[in-house]
């Protein structure tokens, strides 16, 4: 009897194949977290070594984010046009090469250029990793696996705390070099591991290669200890579509809303975890920038991911995302009443729990909204908007904080509430739905 690709993937089951896939993608996703957050720990020693100011040293982070913005959009588009696997391997190779070269920079302009190129490669891993992971999973359990991949961000945060502590203890004058090298090392390992990953069966089938797609699905079945899937596959070949198709027809509303949420959540996330700690430290609460507190923040993320993984399958993607957005907005109120180190710590830990749960639900929801021909493009566009939010956060929040600290906190809460309203306006729910 003819089967859809989702029915065939469901017949192949989940097991060792998906666990290995999760570990391979998760390794690089943890490294991406280290790359994104590294500048906060690397900037002081960069400034000392190259005789620049701290704000100038932080420009290496700006260069990295600019590269991520361009890489997310560009590589996402390439993955929909030429296939997932090629981009999967190319981006992690570039991440490894440029990331390691950056650690050996001999001048500040050289460092800026290499961090930009590293950012472009890291940005390119986002759309293809999540598109591919979604396409190797059956509908009934896809959400929790995608949240599980996002949870490796916490692993990367913990690893960064450990690496930065060791670098500061044993190589204080060159700590930034060790931090950047450690962040690139998983990509070196990940490159060789990714050679094992086949092309996505959804991509193969939708581009007229149904027989190859069935071969991949049967390889999955063998590794999961399942019987072979007889086939044949029944699929509708999808022609290539321009980026503008993200905002046409039935995709227009959900695409506009979900991409708005990505931007709003990113602006809030980077405001809370990049701008806010510097303000709190200036007010005498320097513990928020310490390695031990970073460990606590990472640990607080894990139950947020766990609840998101449960919620996306139990309550649906849309309601779970709305719930975490509202909880994140509510968490902002704690900062307004926080007057002691204890309440500030509690507020920050709550925001870590709530915002990372928000990211988990968002990463589970987004790739399922788009058809296969636009999935990586949609994820790439979302990633680009997230990096734009990260770049805009210091300027936007800095302008508001001139009014008052409370005004900045109110801005975060408002952005998150608008994100919840945008999610409510999405007129689809993708829980247990087949990919198109």
- Dihedral (Cα; 120, 124, 125, 128), 10-degree rounding: 180
CA distance 137 to 435: 10
Q: For domain 5-199+241-424, give the fold.
A: Growth Hormone; Chain: A; (1.20.1250)
Cα–Cα distances in angstroms (integers) from residue 387 to residues 87, 380, 382, 397, in the given order: 20, 11, 9, 15
The CB density around residue 174, as the number of other CB atoms within 10 Å, is 15
Q: Reduce the DSSP state of residue 233 to 3 states and report it.
A: strand
Output the pLDDT for position 229: 87
Token digits for 286?
A: 């320097």
| Domain limits, the chain | 5-199+241-424
CB 337 within 8 A of CB 277: no
Output the pLDDT for position 289: 64
Beta carbons within 8 Å of 24's beta carbon, 6+ residues apart: 190, 193, 194, 196, 197
Beta carbons within 8 Å of 281's beta carbon, 6+ residues apart: 288, 289
Low pLDDT (below 70) residues in the chain: 1, 275, 277-291, 338-339, 398, 401-402
User: Rg of the Cα trace of the chain?
Assistant: 21
For the entire predicted model, the pTM comes to: 0.91
Nearest Cα residue to 258 out of 380, 407, 419, 130 = 419
3 φ, ψ (degrees, to nearest 5): -125, 150
Instruction: State the sign of the Cα–Cα–Cα–Cα dihedral 309, 315, 318, 321.
Output: negative
CA distance 168 to 361: 35
Cα–Cα distances in angstroms (integers) from residue 291 to residues 158, 161, 287, 297, 298, in the given order: 9, 5, 9, 10, 11
Tell me how long the chain is.
436
Output the pLDDT for position 380: 94
Output the pLDDT for position 136: 95
The CB density around residue 339, as the number of other CB atoms within 10 Å, is 8
Place of tokens 């739905």: 433
Nearest Cα residue to 131 out of 310, 364, 309, 423 = 364
Token digits for 320?
A: 């779970």
CB 266 within 8 A of CB 390: yes
pLDDT tens, position by position, 53-76: 888 888 898 899 999 999 999 999
Output the pLDDT for position 142: 93
């Amino acid at each position: 009897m003819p089967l859809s690709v989702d029915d065939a993937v469901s017949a192949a089951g989940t097991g060792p194949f998906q666990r290995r896939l999760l570990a391979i993608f998760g390794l690089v996703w943890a490294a991406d977290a280290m790359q994104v957050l590294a500048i906060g720990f690397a900037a002081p020693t960069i400034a000392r070594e190259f005789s620049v100011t701290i704000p100038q040293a932080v420009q290496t982070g700006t260069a990295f984010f600019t590269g991520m913005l361009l890489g997310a959009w560009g590589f996402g588009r390439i993955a929909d046009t030429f296939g997932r696997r090629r981009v999967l391997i190319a981006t992690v190779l570039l991440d490894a090469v440029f990331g390691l070269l950056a650690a050996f920079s001999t001048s500040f302009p050289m460092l800026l250029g290499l961090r930009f190129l590293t950012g472009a490669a890291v940005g390119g891993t986002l759309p293809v990793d999540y598109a591919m992971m979604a396409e190797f999973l059956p509908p009934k359990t896809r959400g929790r696996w995608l949240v599980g991949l996002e949870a490796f961000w916490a692993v990367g945060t913990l690893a960064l705390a450990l690496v930065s502590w060791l670098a500061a203890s044993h190589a204080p004058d060159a700590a930034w070099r060790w931090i950047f090298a450690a962040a690139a090392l998983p990509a070196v390992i990940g490159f060789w591991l990714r050679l094992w990953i086949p092309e996505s069966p959804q991509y193969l089938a939708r581009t007229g290669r149904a027989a190859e797609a069935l071969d991949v699905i049967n390889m999955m079945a063998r590794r999961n200890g399942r019987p072979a899937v007889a086939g044949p596959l029944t699929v509708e070949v999808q022609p290539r579509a321009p980026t503008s198709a993200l905002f046409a027809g039935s995709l227009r509303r959900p695409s506009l809303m979900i991409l708005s949420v990505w931007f709003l959540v990113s602006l809030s996330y980077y405001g809370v975890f990049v701008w806010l700690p510097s303000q709190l430290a200036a007010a005498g609460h320097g513990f928020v920038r310490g390695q031990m507190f970073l460990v606590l923040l990472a640990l607080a993320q894990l139950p947020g991911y766990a609840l998101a993984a449960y919620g996306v399958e139990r309550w649906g993607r849309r309601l779970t995302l709305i719930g975490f957005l509202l909880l994140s907005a509510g968490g902002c109120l704690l900062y307004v009443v926080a007057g002691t180190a204890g309440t500030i710590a509690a507020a920050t830990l709550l925001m870590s729990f709530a915002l990372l749960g928000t990211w988990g639900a968002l990463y589970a929801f987004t790739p399922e909204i788009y058809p296969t021909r636009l999935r990586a493009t949609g994820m790439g566009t979302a990633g680009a908007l997230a990096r734009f939010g990260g770049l805009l956060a210091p300027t936007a929040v800095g302008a508001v904080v001139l009014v008052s600290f409370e005004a900045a906190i109110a801005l975060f809460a408002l952005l998150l509430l608008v994100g919840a309203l945008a999610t409510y306006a999405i007129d689809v729910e993708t829980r247990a739905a087949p990919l198109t």
